Amino acid sequence: MPYPTPFPLDQLTERGDAQAVALVLRDRTLTYADLRARVGLLAGWLAQRAQKGARVASWAAKGELTCLLPLAAARAGLIHVPINPLLKRAQVAHILGDSGAVTLVGTKARLATLEAGDVPEGCEVFDENDVFALADAGGATLGPSTQDPQELAAILYTSGSTGKPKGVMLSHANMWLGAVSVASYLGMASDDVTLAVLPLSFDYGQNQLLSTWYAGGAVVPLDYLFPKDVAKACAKHGVTTLAAVPPLWVQLTETEWPQEAIASMRRLTNSGGALTVELVRNLRTMFPETKLFPMYGLTEAFRSTYLDPELVDAHPTSMGKAIPFAEILVIDDAGEVAAPDTEGELVHCGPLVAQGYWQDPERTAERFKPAPVASTYRGTAVWSGDRVKRDEDGLLYFVGRRDAMIKSAGNRISPQELESAALATGLVAEVVALGVPDERLGHAIHLVVRAANNIDDGGPALEKALKKDLPNFMQPHAIHWRDTLPLNPNGKLDRTAIAREIGA
């Protein structure tokens, strides 16, 4: 499908009416005129601190700074590295070091947890509460940029199946066209209000901002403690658009919703895992007049498919069809386009494909390969590793993942990262991390471990150590202690046998 000319990402601020509300914060609102001024001020300050192409990291909850940084860094010619605020110092240290960040802006309490050596040499660290005062004092401001849309605008870190998080490189064009695509197929307009509940470190979360601003609407960022907080915020702000992942949808269907929140809602969107038939039914019952958009995506290509809301009731388990500007092919093991109802690998082609993994040519070559001959877009494609089928009507259905990633509560979690953390405690000699199907979480994290020789009962100690070193969403839901772990014929841990034993 032809796609429009992309622009520098920071020019999203020019889309909305100057007097219209763009961002609703706890203590005030910003109009589009305010948004332009604040982005320009922040960009001017950043440009004074770093040279073009440098990486600027943020590690904080949702607020004015974290919402504006994606645009301000882009305007200054810098590369934004948003860090999930739920991560802890070990993961943050890896991201800072891997990205070579020259500036880190974060919450004071989070920054206080960092230890010597966690921050790269020469990286300046700032309390988020001080930034705008420093920017005001600096007095510099930048207008809309003329950056090349093909230049990098962000590095989003995502867990890999073989180890530490890897940085996906996204250009201005990737993010601009992603905003245009989503705003288009969701039918967003200038009177829309989006409640941004997902982390801004995720592509799906960040697009909540960008697609809404492209349409000229308003964003209400929210870090919630309880599901009822989401429902109350929807009622308070007249929210029209809510995006979530399946575990949150389960919680929200168990929450009492004010009638005004249901009445204002125009669309619900889901990604980060498939909706179950029961969950679709519950959401359609609760929001009978609201359009439900199931979606599938991967950070390496932003978003791939969505299911037309008119088809949800009849095809609740379908991934739908390609979003605008994406070409989705199903390629069989012979490298040909798979016949209908034949399993193959989902391959994403087109301008939404990222530029690879930051400073990781080996893993880039594994996932980013030449597009299949059948592709209209050609060029580089993302070979997802996900197995899908396409029916006679062109609707896609997920079959399974080729890798061993654990997808829990909307988070993609590396088994090796979990295993490395467990081994680092010194309490276990062998460990296998697995995802066990769970109705609420998608997958529950289970560790199967053999204790180190000098450990009699490491259960409580292991749990305590992992709580210290890993974020909440990576904590195991169950730990199985074993005297021995089965081996395969090659002498390696037999993951298949272990998974079968615990029902993974």
If you ran DSSP here, which 8-state letter would residue 10 be given? G
How far apart CA 504 and CA 497 sit, in angstroms, is 10
Kindly report the length of the chain.
Answer: 504
What backbone torsions phi and psi does residue 117 show, to the nearest 5 degrees? 90, -10
Last residue of a domain, one of 147, 176, 195: 147
With CA atoms as reference, report the closest residue to 232 among 199, 190, 262, 254: 262
- 68 contacts 132 by C-beta, under 8 angstroms: no
If you ran DSSP here, which 8-state letter would residue 257 be given? P
Instruction: Tell me the C-alpha to C-alpha distance, in Å, between residue 396 and each of 307, 388, 389, 436.
Output: 9, 7, 6, 25
- 223 contacts 210 by C-beta, under 8 angstroms: no
In single-letter form, the type of residue at position 29 comes to: T
* pLDDT for the residue numbered 161: 47
With CA atoms as reference, report the closest residue to 449 among 413, 476, 414: 476
* pLDDT for the residue numbered 454: 67
Residue 356 domain-assigned (yes or no): no
Residue 394 domain-assigned (yes or no): no
* pLDDT for the residue numbered 74: 98
* pLDDT for the residue numbered 163: 61
* CATH label of the domain that carries residue 493: 3.30.300.30
With CA atoms as reference, report the closest residue to 410 among 376, 443, 364, 377: 443
Residue 232 domain-assigned (yes or no): no
Residue 341 domain-assigned (yes or no): no
* pLDDT for the residue numbered 147: 95
**How many Cα atoms are found within 13 Å in the side-chain-facing hemisphere of 173?**
15
Last residue of a domain, one of 96, 127, 147: 147
Going residue by residue through the chain (504 aa), what tens digit of pLDDT does each one get? 689 999 999 999 999 999 999 999 999 999 999 999 999 999 999 999 999 999 999 999 999 999 999 999 999 999 999 999 988 998 999 999 999 999 999 999 999 999 999 999 999 999 999 999 999 998 899 999 999 999 999 999 986 544 678 999 999 999 999 999 999 999 999 999 999 999 999 898 999 999 999 999 999 999 998 999 999 999 999 999 999 988 889 889 999 999 999 999 999 999 877 888 888 999 999 999 999 999 998 899 989 999 999 999 999 989 999 999 999 999 999 999 999 999 999 999 999 999 999 999 999 999 999 999 999 999 999 999 998 999 999 999 988 766 677 889 888 888 878 988 898 898 988 889 999 999 889 999 999 998 887 676 667 899 999 999 899 999 999 999 998 888 775 557 788 899 999 987
Residue 167 domain-assigned (yes or no): no
Residue 153 domain-assigned (yes or no): no
With CA atoms as reference, report the closest residue to 434 among 450, 411, 416: 416
* CATH label of the domain that carries residue 69: 3.40.50.980
* pLDDT for the residue numbered 380: 97
**How many Cα atoms are found within 13 Å in the side-chain-facing hemisphere of 348?**
28
Residue 339 domain-assigned (yes or no): no
Range(s) of the domain holding residue 435: 406-502
Within 151-276, residue ranges assigned H as helices are 172-186, 203-215, 227-237, 246-253, 259-264
Last residue of a domain, one of 85, 113, 147: 147
Q: How many domains does the chain have?
A: 2
Residue 218 domain-assigned (yes or no): no
